[in-house]
Amino acid sequence: MTNIKKITTPLTDEVVKGLKAGDQVSISGVIYTARDAAHKLLTEAIQAGEELPVDFKNQIIYYAGPTPAKPGKVIGSCGPTTSGRMDAYSPLMMEQGLKGMIGKGPRSKEVVEAMIANHVVYFAAIGGAAALIADSVKEAEVVAFDELGPEAIRRLVVEDYPCIVAIDSEGHNLYELGVQQYKIVD
Amino acid sequence: MREITAEQITEAVKRMSIEAACDLPEDVEKLLKEAVATEESQFGKYSLEKIVKNVELARAEHAPMCQDTGIVIVFAEVGQDARIVGGTLNDAINEGVRQGYQEGYLRKSVVRDPVLDRKNTGDNTPAVIYTELVPGDKIKIQVLPKGAGSENMGALKMLKPAEGLEGVKDFIIKAVTQAGGNPCPPVIVGVGIGGTMDKSTLLAKKALARQAGQPHPNPEYQALEEELLVEINKLGIGPQGFGGKVTALAVHIETYPTHIATMPVSVCLNCHAARHKEAIL
């Protein structure tokens, strides 16, 4: 865990290809929060041929719904939610040019296949370490679906957001590799 | 009859909602710190160190340790010689949740209809309330804000009695295996065995209200809890599912007599932010 790769958004194919499962990464720049309800609305808009409220080309989506900001704070606690719930929507988002996803927990086979096809990287943040993570968020602004409350799309400006490459753009998967390594069969 | 005001109940629920979100109980923190020492995997250890640091930061800053401040589960044991004045029990509890989630800057995560109209209620109500009448003149209130990441990984199976203890163990291990990295391991595994379909799930949830790592009073079930913990930690899932030796911090089993023809088993998982508070009024 000595070499931390620093990357900035928007991502390029070159940067994505340089990230390997197990790399420790620190992200700076703009990322967008979106979770269940926002993904449903985005998917409906894409299917209806409507313009999306955010251009996701080369961007990172962060699966998160923060707690409300206390006075004087930019944001409340802001850790990752379970990514698997977004699996049904993610391939379509990758077709829109999405290059990165941040969440927690494993992804489906379909998502990994779409990641390989579209050169996309999946980062894992530490679930439940939300107070700590909030420190890396420097700006936060709702940019779409305000009515969804915690599920609105927020544009975050982050500095040195800490995460790990969980699944890289070639499909190497830390969840599978790590568990295989530590599984004890009697 | 001893009188307890609705206002006292509201105040207690409000206070516990905020405290639960920001201040992890010592029993859970102790197990997490032990896990840091036990864990060998690089990413597992890294995750646990961040988790412990986050617990300390959340407590110091009165900030929620996790952004999923949960749907509030309340177990209320109402003494039959206690009389609630000035309002109903459920209203008093929900008012406490409303005030706590507003004043504590906690996330409102409840939608008013599960399928047809998933609109946020805006105040995190209603709570999920279980009330039991017990002897005495006090009211015991336990508050468990439950995140959905772990709740979604719960499982129930109606086993045949012929499947026996092996069937019970297999099902529990299978449930934890299938949950994998999703419920934010290391988890606390709540197990409910017996009763009926509904009773077993309630027991599994109630098992999470126990002090983390406190063994079952029956030595045979205590041994089963210990055995299951060892077996679960051989699965290799590890902290956050990155691989490692610590997948669970504890296994809590609760049981109830059951029908001659059945053996229900439920598993309810709690994430490492295993929030639980209680008050006696």
Of B61, B122, B234, the CB nearest to A131: B61
Whether pLDDT at A182 is above 90 = yes
Q: Which of B271, B153, B141 is nearest to B212 (CA)?
A: B271
Q: Catalytic residue at A39?
A: yes
Burial label, B178 (beta-carbon count in 10 A; 0-12, 13-18, 19+): exposed
Cα dist. B95→B13, B63, B99 in Å? 8, 21, 6
B40 occurs within a structural domain: no
Q: Which of A55, A44, A33, A57 is nearest to A146 (CA)?
A: A33
Which one of A107, A126, A156, A184 would you mutate to disrupt binding with B, by most B Cβ within 10 Å of its Cβ?
A126
List strand residue ranges (DSSP E) for chain B, in order.
2-5, 71-79, 82-85, 128-134, 139-146, 155-159, 187-195, 248-258, 263-270, 277-280
User: Rounded to the nearest 5°, which phi and psi values hold at B191?
Assistant: -125, 130
Tell me the pLDDT band of A83, cut-offs 50, 70 and 90.
Answer: very high
Q: Are residues B240 and B121 in the same domain?
A: no
Q: Please compute the mean of the pLDDT values over residues A152-167 and round it to a whole number.
A: 97
Domain endpoint, select from B106, B130, B146 = B146
Q: Answer yes or no: do B240 and A150 touch at CB < 8 A.
A: no
A134 contact residues in B (CB cutoff 8 A): 63
Whether pLDDT at A67 is above 70 = yes
The proportion of chain B whose per-residue pLDDT surpasses 70, expressed as a percent, equals 100
Query: Which tokens go with A27?
Result: 């992200």
Query: Which tokens go with B26?
Result: 């010592």
pLDDT at B230: 98
Give the angle subtended at the CA of B41 by the CAs of B37 and B46, to the nearest 5°: 70
Whether pLDDT at A1 is above 80 = no
Q: Please compute the mean of the pLDDT values over residues B210-239 and round it to a whole number.
A: 97
Q: Are residues B164 and B244 in the same domain?
A: yes
Residues B69, B21 contacting (CB under 8 angstroms): yes
Q: Are residues B71 and B6 in the same domain?
A: yes
Q: Answer yes or no: do A78 and B242 touch at CB < 8 A.
A: no
pLDDT, chain B, mean: 97
B34 occurs within a structural domain: no
A64 to chain B, any CB pair closer than 8 A? The answer is yes
Which one of the listed residues A31, A38, A39, A152 is annotated catalytic? A39
Tell me the pLDDT band of B116, cut-offs 50, 70 and 90.
Answer: very high
Q: Alpha-carbon dihedral of residues A49, A50, A52, A57, nearest 10 degrees?
A: 30
Tell me the pLDDT band of A105, cut-offs 50, 70 and 90.
Answer: very high
Q: Are residues B114 and B217 in the same domain?
A: no
Bridge-based pairing state of the strands B128-134 and B139-146 = unpaired
- pLDDT digits over B189-213, tens only? 999 999 999 999 999 999 999 999 9
Q: Please compute the mean of the pLDDT values over residues B245-257 and round it to a whole number.
A: 98
pLDDT at A2: 62
Tell me the pLDDT band of B132, cut-offs 50, 70 and 90.
Answer: very high
B99 occurs within a structural domain: yes
Q: What is the CATH number of domain A26-182?
A: 3.20.130.10
CA distance A77 to chain B (A): 5
Residues B279, B12 contacting (CB under 8 angstroms): yes
Domain endpoint, select from B124, B146, B168 = B146
B239 occurs within a structural domain: yes
Q: Answer yes or no: do A65 and B53 touch at CB < 8 A.
A: no
pLDDT at B100: 98
Q: Answer yes or no: do B107 and A67 touch at CB < 8 A.
A: yes
Q: Which of A21, A172, B40 is nearest to A5 (CA)?
A: A21
The CATH number of the domain holding residue B107 is 3.30.360
- pLDDT digits over B12-27, tens only? 999 999 999 999 999 9
Q: Is A21 helix (H, G, I), strand (E, B) or coil?
A: coil
A65 to chain B, any CB pair closer than 8 A? The answer is yes
Contacts of A145 (CB under 8 A, 6+ apart): A37, A38, A41, A53, A151, A152, A153
Q: Answer yes or no: do B50 and A129 touch at CB < 8 A.
A: yes
B64 contact residues in A (CB cutoff 8 A): 67, 76-77, 130-131
Q: Please compute the mean of the pLDDT values over residues A54-67 and round it to a whole number.
A: 97
Domain count, chain B: 2
- pLDDT digits over B154-164, tens only? 999 999 999 99
Residues B256, B221 contacting (CB under 8 angstroms): no
Q: Please compute the mean of the pLDDT values over residues A149-161 and round it to a whole number.
A: 97
User: Rounded to the nearest 5°, which phi and psi values hold at B93?
Assistant: -65, -50
pLDDT at A3: 87
- Hey, how many other C-beta atoms are within 10 angstroms of the C-beta on B102? 16
What is the ipTM score, two decimals?
0.94
Q: Are residues B119 and B158 in the same domain?
A: no
Domain endpoint, select from B84, B115, B146 = B146
Task: Give the C-alpha separation, B94 to A60, whole Å.
Answer: 38
B83 occurs within a structural domain: yes
Whether pLDDT at B146 is above 60 = yes
Q: Is B110 helix (H, G, I), strand (E, B) or coil?
A: coil
Which residue range(s) make up the domain with B169?
A: 149-274
Q: Are residues B257 and B157 in the same domain?
A: yes
Largest alpha-carbon pair distance within chain B? 59
